[in-house]
A and B are shown apart, each in its own frame.
Chain A
Amino acid sequence: MYVAVKGGERAIENSLALLASQRRGDPQVPELTLQQIREQMRLAVDRVMTEGSVYDEDLAALALKQAAGDTLEAVFLLRAYRATLPRLGYTQAIDTAQMQLARRVSATFKDLPGGQLLGPTYDYTQRLLDFSLAAAAEPPVAPESPMEVEAAAVPRVMDLLAAEGLIEVCQPREGDPAPADLTRDPLHFPADRPTRLQNLARGDEGFLLALGYSTQRGYAHSHPFAAEIRFGRVEIEIEPDELGFAVSIGDIDVTECQMVNQFAGSATELPRFTRGYGLCFGHCERKAMAMALVDRALCAAELGEDVVAPAQMPEFVLSHSDSLEASGFVAHLKLPHYVDFQAELELLRRMRSRDIATAAEAA
């Protein structure tokens, strides 16, 4: 009989209740606390903060808990919350040369001022499942740093190359306008580099990883070297109008990746290396590296390279990088499309009956 989807309201209420109970799981098992998520699911928290564009570990932990660990859903929750926050002002540009380093590696120089600092990384863990973690154990103890990590600035590899004029200069020009704010103004094409970087910083890690990877497999190869990856703490400053000077409002952890890429030159310019840049909240190295690869690929047109691969096409990359937009629109296929489908059905039947009639006439 004709039932259709009546009673949507009851269905939604019941669905919400089911979801809440499913999220909680077995009530005999103690409930996760936000502190546990923040401290022990640190990298998930960092990813949610990066793609959610809010630096707040507690809110990111809450979003992860509410989303039952679904990163994209947590990013969505944080973004929707973010949209309601007032915009009080803009910070000064952070200076990553002043970073308190927890990790810093360069793939281009064996040793360099400030040294290499391996820090915490999964890179050399051998990826054996550690069954000792299955049971509660004494908390591990962090080793003392063998060297006194100096609080003084550690110059960036790029600055060393720049001093010799070997790499393209990316200083803002005199009268350079303030960058557009993608969270306030829609994306426009052609998009300048600050806008592209904003988009990539919020972009989905998986998408950027795949695109970055594609540039390494012949789709817009740019001969990248990881000049430097650094992770650590930087100071955030604002300059209130009424003060006229900058004041510190706290520290945040960031990961920065600077790629040095194949050189470009011309009849009038000496050849130089080019740059790719990645920056994320917290510790998101994979994302920062992928971002740097894609950033460089997107500079193709400006550097006079042929645009032949998806990673070099700003409209392709920037319009599809946002996980909220992508997951929302893919998921919307779950919504009813009875009307459109009915319209197609009617057309298909009409076309078939006409063809059958034509065939009958011919016979």
Chain B
Amino acid sequence: MNAPDRSALAPAAYASTWETNFNFAYLDERSKRMIRRAILKAVAIPGYQVPFGSREMPLPYGWGTGGIQVTASIIGPDDVLKVIDQGADDTVNAVNIRRFFQRTTGVRTTESTAAATVIQTRHRIPEVPLSAHQILVYQVPVPEPLQRLEPREVETRRMHGLSEYGLMHVKFYEDIARYGHIVTTYDYPVMVDGRYLMSPSPIPAFDNPKMHMNPALQLFGAGREKRIYAVPPHTAVESLAFDDYPFAPQRWDAVCAICAAADSFLDEVITDDRGGRMHVCSDTDYCRTRQAAAP
């Protein structure tokens, strides 16, 4: 790699702010071991939701406690951590979680996707393809893809056991009958390794294809619902669809107003009260890197 981008690596001063009153990465070693066991099981059974003894973290449930516990269990002093929310490194929740790990581990942090070894994310997969030395940790609000169709866990567990996913197909069929196409735009369910139906977390359907055969390890943590699941490297991940109604992620007529990218997920920003708006990359690192590379 070239000389590291100065803005990409956090100042070394962070290391000295490491709070020694807590164990490394906050959780005690026995809790981490329990979580690692759940992770190993999850990797062994791709897409299967492994129950785990989720701890009460000092951040609220629903704000990434599952992802935080997974990251806390796998992170080591040599890791370089990137935290994104909505694709951006500088949204308050991402900043807050990064700050939490800076305080409790003192590890180096980065905004560069390529420089990170562990990336914790909420709602996006980075645009830059990941590599084998990286782990992507997703924050998951609702791990059960069938929950909105069948709230009873006893029932959904049975459906997974029998690989009986007719309920979701019927939902999609009804979408098509009513609206002309499938109206799920995010948290679009996927089949993992041809066996388990899985929630990809609320990433846009646009990101779903990136999960397929990804060389990085993808871990999913749901703290409130106390589940961990995984997509091991190079695993088939297929977005659910019909032969005559294939999977159709979102697309834009616009390009990024800052870096002119036509291949990235675009956020719409309202610029005035007269209907003015612009589209910009949701992945801030991708956008910044493209701007820097532009002549």
Interface of A with B (CB < 8 Å)? 1-2, 4-9, 11-12, 76, 79-80, 82-84, 86, 183-190, 315, 319, 324-325, 327-332, 335-340, 342-347, 351, 354
Contact = CB atoms under 8 A, between A and B. Distances in A.
B51 A188 contact: yes
Contact of B224 (A183, A328, A346): A328
Given A2-B280, A190-B154, A9 B95 contact: yes
SS of B interface (majority): loop
A83 B22 CA distance: 12
Contacts, number: 148
30 contacts: A2-B271, A2-B278, A2-B280, A76-B60, A79-B56, A82-B56, A186-B51, A186-B226, A186-B227, A188-B51, A324-B56, A325-B61, A325-B62, A328-B63, A328-B65, A332-B60, A332-B63, A335-B93, A337-B202, A338-B86, A338-B267, A339-B123, A339-B203, A339-B282, A342-B266, A343-B186, A343-B205, A347-B185, A347-B250, A351-B179
Contacts of B285: none
Contacts of A183: 53
Contact of B186 (A329, A339, A354): A339
Nearest to B93: A335
Interface residues of B, number: 66
B186 to A, nearest CB: 4
A335 B265 contact: no
SS of A interface (majority): helix
Given A9-B99, A343-B186, 7 more contacts: A79-B56, A82-B56, A187-B226, A329-B61, A339-B202, A340-B202, A347-B183
Interface in B102-147: 122-124, 141
B37 interface: no
B58 interface: yes
B153 interface: yes
A324 B52 CA distance: 17
Contact of B60 (A6, A11, A327): A327
A328 to B, nearest CB: 3
A332 B65 CA distance: 11
A8 B97 CA distance: 11
B268 interface: yes
Interface in B78-92: 85-88, 90-92
